[in-house]
Amino acid sequence: MRLPSEIIKYPAEHFINRELSLLQFQRRVLAQAADPSVPLLERLRFICIVSSNLDEFFEIRVSGIKEQIRLGDRKGGIDGIAPTELLRQLSDEVHKLISEQYALLNEDILPALEKEGVSFLRRNLWTDAQRAWIREYFLREVMPVLTPIGLDPAHPFPRVLNKSLNFAVELDGLDAFGRDSGAAIVQAPRALPRVIRLPREICEQEYSFVFLSSVLHAHVGELFSGMQVLGCYQFRVTRNSDLFVDEEEVKDLRTTLKGELQQRHYGDAVRLEMADNCSEEMAAFLVEHFHLGRQDLYRTPGIVNLVRLMQVPDWVDRPDLKYQPFTPGMPKGLDKRQDIFDVVCKQDILLHHPFQSFAPVIDLLRTAADDPQVLAIKMTVYRTGTDSVLMEHLVRAAQKGKEVTVVLELMARFDEEANITWANRLEEVGAHVIYGVFGYKTHAKLLMVVRREEGGLRHYVHLGTGNYHPRTTRLYTDFGLLTSNPEIGEDVATVFKQLTGLGQATELRHLWQAPFTLQPKVVAAIRREAAIAREGRKARVIAKMNALLEPETIEALYEASQAGVEIDLIVRGPCALRPGVPGLSENIRVRSVIGRFLEHHRIFYFRADGEEQVYLSSADWMERNFFRRIEIAFPILDTRIKRRVIREGLRPYVADNAQAWEMQPNGCYRRKTARGATRAAQLKLLHDLAANS
């Protein structure tokens, strides 16, 4: 296995920094919130998504850079930017982004919602009836669970949980014991709702809400009897949430991980968010206490955790302010109540989520659990959620005596706890639970059912580009393939054998597999297109993915561009490649499509002298996917389905002039504007594939 490309050096000017590119993606998401053509409550949801994305950005990406600086590593990445300089640039960009985000919320979205009967009431606008109700609510629901902590030698600064809501209170006067610390901390328990709906009878609007922060601000004096409150300021600390598990020290991964999860809430602080009315003295005190610099302080003109507004669209019954609901369609051949094994035995089935239903995958597992001819079920699980019908079917299959094997990735970031719970549940009913290969996350999406039929055993396989998570299949664009192709089945069986046992890697007939063959196969396919172009024949590469960062692959694309290969890249998130640079990448176009659904499928198209090779994959073109994960790319062998993938997964996105953004050589993006007919890929697919289109 070849070493990762960190040992290979290319000119730094060929690459855009990953973190700066990721912030460009957040700008494109924020643009959805600013778009008046997007339904109003969905615009609010996009505001929240930006905040959620930034939380993870600080928890993982910024914390990693800070750790690099702490360890004295001053070496920049492939883009050549040193860590200290990168941290400064990121701080500048995030400060600008947050300023624009709150301005959009306060000056546009909230006033527009108020006109539609959805209000977030400020304290100075509460009526007498509202004040009375809110006071009673505070005394009944809030005050009993609060523990104000005065800061003095006997009461040190309390431990502050990652991303929790807290209040710094400045006080004047002596308490019952004659103490005068001048400051206290009030922590809001996570059990308390951050947004509270007021009763309709005391409000002018149908939907009126107050923030928990406003409720506490109005009554904080109740917590400090006889003292004067000089100021009360909400704040929130974001901490390093990346888990570290030392392979040499671990004897039991699950037990070790449980211990690490408890510490995640108290990692090193990387960001401090504070209300913009906070006094300079208190801000300086908190910055010093959390060992942060001024660039790590983010003042917000509003609540410090906008993610908590994500629930509001679900509480407001206003369909006219949301995306129109749809019913996912069913592919031809599965629209009748036929046995799933009979259908897949006769033909491959392509599922295109969320436009088409995920139900056939659930049906395959449900039928397999009940079918006496099924001997074994094997499945990889990366993310599946705390409440998963798929996992329940696996449990039932094991209870019925099937040989159930689950390769469950315990290190799936922020899903570790749910996966540990499922591991316990599966083991209790006799299923084999494997944690993959230590040091390599199992990210491949594989489901295999072994069934006894006339003539011997047959493998029924599902391969996907997205997680086995029924909820996200309604939100993410992904492809899934159901097949009984015996050669594909043998490849999948070999991958499971690698994951659960020991032995040398073997060459697979059709699948490209990381960390062994995926990256070399991708690079070789790109270079084949370059060779074809040099011989004067038509050459083409179209690739769709979430991120493009791996240097050797990028250099292969540059070389192909210089050879005359036409290259279209549809990259949702960070992209280190610079498109459109004369003499380097003038034949490469990079676009990002941002819309109602999160673009998630990975599709690799190579013209291959007219043969048109198409692969679907769970992997982005990143070093981690190529070299530190177990990933699969699978070919579409059925000509009919291959045409569908091109027609649905590539052409609409290359042609999109409504929700597409074109990347410029400097890493910035420019939104496409329609000239003539408007073409939006996601809307077209909804129209073509959804059941109620």
- DSSP state at residue 12: G
Per DSSP (E only), the strands in 98-165 are 118-120, 149-150
Q: How far is the C-alpha of 182 from the C-alpha of 152, rounded, in Å? A: 9
Q: How far is the C-alpha of 438 from the C-alpha of 420, rounded, in Å? A: 16
Burial of 557 from C-beta contacts in 10 A (0-12 / 13-18 / 19+): buried
Q: How far is the C-alpha of 664 from the C-alpha of 685, rounded, in Å? A: 27
Looking up tokens 């955790």 gives 305
The total of other beta-carbon atoms located within 10 Å of residue 40's CB is 21
What's the CA angle centered on 470, arms 416 and 619, to 5 degrees?
A: 65
- DSSP state at residue 116: T
Token readout for 289 is 């206490």
Distances (CA, A) of 417 to 162, 263, 264, 522: 16, 13, 12, 34
Radius of gyration for the alpha carbons in the chain, expressed in angstroms and rounded = 27
Looking up tokens 């600008």 gives 96
Backbone angles phi, psi at 300, to 5 degrees: -120, 130
- DSSP state at residue 98: H
Task: Say if CB 616 and CB 602 are below 8 A apart.
Answer: yes
Task: Say if CB 514 and CB 619 are below 8 A apart.
Answer: yes
Does residue 462 have an active-site annotation? no
Q: How far is the C-alpha of 242 from the C-alpha of 260, rounded, in Å? A: 10
Q: Which of 14, 393, 443, 601 is catalytic?
A: 443
Q: How far is the C-alpha of 613 from the C-alpha of 590, rounded, in Å? A: 21
Distances (CA, A) of 594 to 31, 250, 472, 656: 9, 41, 16, 11
Backbone angles phi, psi at 632, to 5 degrees: -135, 140
Catalytic residues: 443
